[in-house]
Chain A
Amino acid sequence: MFRLLTRRLALIVPTFIGVTLLGFLLIHSIPGDPVEVRVGERGISAERLAYFRHELGLDQPLWKQFLDYEGQLLHGDLGRSVVTQESVWTEFKTFFPATFELSVCALAFAILVGLPLGVMAAVRRGSALDYGLIGISVTGASMPIFWWGLMAVLIFSVALGWTPVSGRIDDLFYIEPRTGFLLIDAWFSDEPGAFRSAVRHLILPAIVLGTVPLATIARMTRSAMLEVLGEDYVRTARAKGLAPGRVVVVHALRNALIPVVTVLGLQVGALLGGAILTETVFAWPGVGHWLVESVQRRDYNVLQGGTLLIAVLVMLVNLGVDVLYGVLNPRLRH
């Protein structure tokens, strides 16, 4: 177990350097000098330009600039937003809990609905339920989620009035951000109705963001269960006279979970990508919304820093999935 962990950790280092190098080179390939971009059309004297370029280290060779950048990163310095002058890390910390909260709820929805659906479809193979599930998973996998989000708003918020159109909570409430996770903060706040409002705002975006993972999880669970249900040990368990439910849940599902966990890990990247669209549709103040705005404002420091943080997050989750994989499947530990 320990060896698996160290081996995976060692692999992360070159990937991390690669990610930072790629981000560095991409941002540096933007045409135009950052200093000239900042002074705009007013123009600037040659000496001042040289001074500012020196100040920012832009007169150094590229490799030196990259090493300086890596040094900054190791000190936790991701630079400052050109627009707000706030440090990128501080901004990320304010926006991330909203994305995290949304993603966790979306994933929970996808698992709580997708896993049982996949199991039931596999157990009743060829039934109407099975075909219905296949239809849902094909549709879900092809869904343009920004469209699905807008349609959901149109139907459930505008036409039926069940949920609010956008935002995280009603403007009536001011919740002191203690954890940053609004559901928790609202639960412990004194404001009556705040928690209810936060839940009502969260439901629709979470379902929309969870739709694609739901389709994938249900489909994976179904095929993994079908495979496992045909194994000898399942037949043995049945022959022993165990209750059918116990055979399915304890004997079959446990082994079917291995590929499902892998797929779950892969969903995290997809979730963060989907969050960009979902947050844009629902005006959800999260990291995705923040990054899209940074593109529109040409705030490249934010784009570079935010993208890097998300990439690191995905790397850590992949590591976690690998370790979990080792726990679930002892054969892989060595």
Chain B
Amino acid sequence: MSATLAVPRSGLFRRLLENPGAVAGLVIMVALIILAIAAPVIAPHGPAEQFRESFLTPPFQQSTFPLGTDSLGRDILTRLIYGARLSLLIGAVVVALSLSIGTMLGLAAAFAGGALDVAIMRLMDVLLVFPSLLLAIVVVAILGPGLTNAMLAVAVVLLPGYVRLARAAALGELTREYVVATRSAGAGVLRLMLLVVLPNCAAPLIVQATLGFSAAILDAAALGFLGLGAQPPTPEWGTMLADALQFYQRAWWLLAFPGIAILVTVMAFNLLGDGLRDALDPKLRR
């Protein structure tokens, strides 16, 4: 079945490595994963540890606090490193939720057709009418603020993209001969859906999932900034920025570093996603 994949795997990886942006994204991503896993070893202090003699220490002055401390005397670098854990967790949970549910809904719509198809796609149209952050805010307002609810909210917001992609890709495959052949050989619907059609719809979904990581991290940080996401003292980057609001005019480092962390992480996943799309879709390459 994998022979019908347009791109052999080795060629895909080689093409990805030819794209400098994708390589940069990949390197940053690997670095972040290492940071996240080894946070307790790498980080100089504990994420909630307070140094009462060192409030608002500027960065690059004391070797104990390379990026300075916040208004409660906590080490910024440490909190950023622990924040990488949260951001990757947020990305992974949100993408896992929206990818799996979205793909199932999209495949169901494509296979069932008729009323179910119309119902699912109309519902997605309705979700798409709301600006994504606003929808996330409404969902969090109902479920209550917090990291878990913020992740659920962002997963809901990202759902329509996967449903539409999965449905479109599956509809394209359904009329192909190999599907018709497998069906006439007596394969059940579930087998057809998950083992026959899905692997051949994977390419656009993988790209969307990579880009979904960055959208999830960005939206969750925005919710954290609005006070609706992770709650203090969680070292989530958006929440750290919300904490900084009171002091940022005289302590720029409270603002600068968490924002750079968000920007670089989001950019890494965007670059990787764009690179994957170019590598997976030879038609787009010129």
Q: Which A-chain residue is minimally distant from B140 (CB atoms)?
A: A295
The residue of chain B having its C-beta at the shortest distance from the C-beta of A144 within the complex is B262
Within 8 A of B (CB), among A116-168: 138-139, 141-144, 146-148, 150-151, 154, 158
Describe B's contact surface by its main secondary structure: helix
- B25 — nearest CB in chain A belongs to which residue? A138
A302–B268 alpha-carbon span in the complex (Å): 38
Give A274-288 interface residues, CB cut-off 8 Å to B. 274, 276-277, 280
B129 contacts A144, C-beta separation under 8 Å: no
* A19 adjacent to B126 (CB under 8 Å): yes
Contact between B263 and A142 (Cβ–Cβ < 8 Å)? yes
Q: A280 near B241 (CB under 8 angstroms)?
A: no
Chain A interface, number of residues (Cβ within 8 angstroms): 44
- B116 → chain A, closest Cβ, in Å? 15
Closest Cβ–Cβ distance, residue B276 to chain A (whole Å): 15
A276 touches B134 (CB 8 A): yes
Is A146's CB under 8 angstroms from B225's CB?
A: yes
Nearest B residue (CB) for A288: B134
Provide the bound-state CA to CA distance between A277 and B186, in Å: 54
Given A26-B139, A150-B255, does the pair A273, B132 have CB atoms closer than 8 Å?
yes
From A23, A26, A138, B270 is in contact (CB under 8 Å) with A138
Kindly name the residue among A30, A141, A158 whose own CB sees the greatest number of chain B CB atoms within 10 A.
A141
In contact, B256 and A151 (Cβ under 8 angstroms): yes
Say if the beta carbon of B133 comes within 8 Å of chain A: yes
Please tell me which one of the listed residues B131, B142, B258 contacts residue A30 in the complex, with CB atoms under 8 A apart: B142
A139, B125: Cβ atoms closer than 8 Å: no
Q: Which of B126, B133, B252 contacts A18 (CB 8 A)?
A: B126
Contacting pair A270 B125 (CB below 8 A)? no
Residue from A29, A142, A314 whose CB has the most chain B CB atoms within 10 Å = A142
**Chain B contacts with A in 44-98, Cβ cutoff 8 A:** none
Among the stretches B169-177, B187-195, B214-222, the one at the interface with A is B214-222
- The 0/1 profile, CB within 8 Å of A marked 1, for residues 123-160 of chain B is 10111011111100111111000000000000000000
* Of B133, B249, B258, B263, the contact of A158 (CB 8 Å cutoff): B249
* CB proximity of A25 to chain B, nearest CB, Å: 10
Q: Contact between B131 and A273 (Cβ–Cβ < 8 Å)?
A: yes
Q: Binary interface profile of A, 234-268, with partner B (CB < 8 Å = 1, else 0)? A: 00000000000000000000000000000000000
Main SS at interface, chain A: helix
A154 to B253, CA, bound (A): 11
What CA separation (Å) do A138 and B142 show in the bound complex? 34
**What is the CB-to-nearest-CB distance from B192 to chain A, in angstroms, rounded to a whole number?**
30
User: B137 — which chain A residues lie within 8 A by C-beta?
Assistant: 276, 291-292, 295
- CB-based nearest B residue for A28: B142
CB distance A147 to B263 under 8 Å?
Answer: yes
Contact with A along B32-44 (1 / 0, CB 8 A): 0000000000000
Which A residue's beta carbon lies closest to that of B286?
Answer: A226
Enumerate chain B residues within 8 angstroms of A310, measured Cβ to Cβ. 130-131, 134
Provide the residues of chain A in CB contact with B226, threshold 8 Å: 276-277, 280, 292
- Shortest A320–chain B CB gap in Å is 14
B263 with A143: CB separation less than 8 A:
yes
Which 9 pairs between the two chains have the least Cβ-Cβ distance?
Answer: A273-B131, A147-B259, A18-B126, A273-B133, A142-B267, A142-B266, A295-B141, A269-B131, A272-B131
Additional pairs, 4, CB under 8 Å, beyond known A15-B122, A146-B238, A150-B241: A142-B267, A146-B241, A269-B129, A277-B225
